[in-house]
Amino acid sequence: MLRHFLLGKIHRATVTRADLDYVGSITLDPLLIEAAGFMENEKIDIYNVTNGSRLSTYVIPGVPGSGEVGINGAAAHLVQKGDLVIIAAYGWMTAEEAETVAPKVVFVDERNRITERRRQERTPLCVAAFTD
């Protein structure tokens, strides 16, 4: 049986622009795309930490090193410049595959520069339980 698992995410990125007149998608700095393990045109989910909205779209690369997180098209009604977002991709795999595949979790600063990369995700309260 196939199940849906997290493959990668960018945690609390700052939206650099929101463009209603573009046809759709999210434009991301290719350094962020690579770090999170995303692929061009891959479906991703966006969770807006600022206002609680959620949406799905696809990835297009922007300028390397720009820190761009640009929301394009209709999604710009739900996400504004300056909002904090979580961007996540998921994939179908068996339980056995999931035991060997760890998600790429990318943390960024306020300018969307990578500050930390992890291969797992734990809430602060659970960290101690997994370190001993």
Q: Active-site positions?
A: 25, 58
In single-letter form, the type of residue at position 51 comes to: N
Two tokens, residue 36:
């999170």
**66 Cβ neighbours under 8 A, 6+ residues apart:** 16, 29
Q: Helices (DSSP H) in 8-132: which residue ranges?
A: 30-36, 95-98, 124-131
Measured between alpha carbons, how far is 34 from 38 in angstroms, rounded to an integer? Answer: 6
Query: Token digits for 35?
Result: 């770090």
3-state helix, strand, coil in the chain (%, to 5): 20, 40, 40
